[in-house]
Chain A
Amino acid sequence: LAKTTQPISMDSYEGQEVNITCSHNNIATNDYITWYQQFPSQGPRFIIQGYKTKVTNEVASLFIPADRKSSTLSLPRVSLSDTAVYYCLVALDSNYQLIWGAGTKLIIKP
């Protein structure tokens, strides 16, 4: 049974790189991993998605090792506005089950 686990909270400082790791056992080759960002009183918003190795877009990178038992969201040079809750989601291709992590509250300090 697939499950996702991520740290409850993290803090960092402006200008630093932040890495948030999600552990997800028992996922198959076609199961994809997605990260979302949520600000207070808003719905989550898509950040990045991938299946394997590394994906990069204009706001983040996603690293997925060969064993696919974890994935790491990397936020380069964070600012105060990156303070939010970040969710890891694993979507199982076999039955379309969605496995959400409990979220990581990231606090960025000046």
Chain B
Amino acid sequence: DAGITQSPRHKVTETGTPVTLRCHQTENHRYMYWYRQDPGHGLRLIHYSYGVKDTDKGEVSDGYSVSRSKTEDFLLTLESATSSQTSVYFCAISDPGTSDYNEQFFGPGTRLTVL
């Protein structure tokens, strides 16, 4: 399995508090992604990064920010958590130049509950 870890794996927080989720990879892949997964919606892209300090918005980026200061780390911050951000968050990585396929490798997920 690709070396991707997410921390924390579970978190319960209160509305209005800031939350930061961390994704760490040991594969030196160029692209990193943050998704949220909710019942009935499948995977929805929040933000992605195509290199250190290079990030772009996905389809559900409102209320989220990201940072990538090193190749191996991609941070997702909920600036002021709301109950609608209760979800399972997945990090993924990819590197088209290293494979015949542009496949994404996913982390184990972080379950976030906002009360």
Contact = CB atoms under 8 A, between A and B. Distances in A.
Contacts of B40: 102
The number of chain B residues touching the other chain, given as a range, is 10 to 19
A98 interface: yes
Nearest to B108: A43
Interface stretch (B14-22, B68-76, B96-104): B96-104
Given A43-B90, A46-B101, A102 B42 contact: yes
Interface string A36-49: 10000111111001
Interface of A: 32, 34, 36, 41-46, 49, 87, 91, 98, 100-103
Given A34-B101, A100-B44, 4 more contacts: A43-B90, A43-B92, A87-B42, A91-B102
Given A46-B104, A49-B102, A41 B42 contact: no
A46 B43 contact: no
A49 B44 CA distance: 20
29 contacts: A32-B102, A34-B102, A34-B103, A36-B104, A41-B109, A42-B106, A42-B109, A43-B90, A43-B92, A43-B106, A43-B108, A44-B90, A44-B104, A44-B106, A45-B106, A46-B104, A46-B105, A49-B101, A49-B102, A49-B103, A87-B42, A91-B102, A98-B45, A100-B43, A100-B45, A101-B42, A102-B40, A102-B41, A102-B42
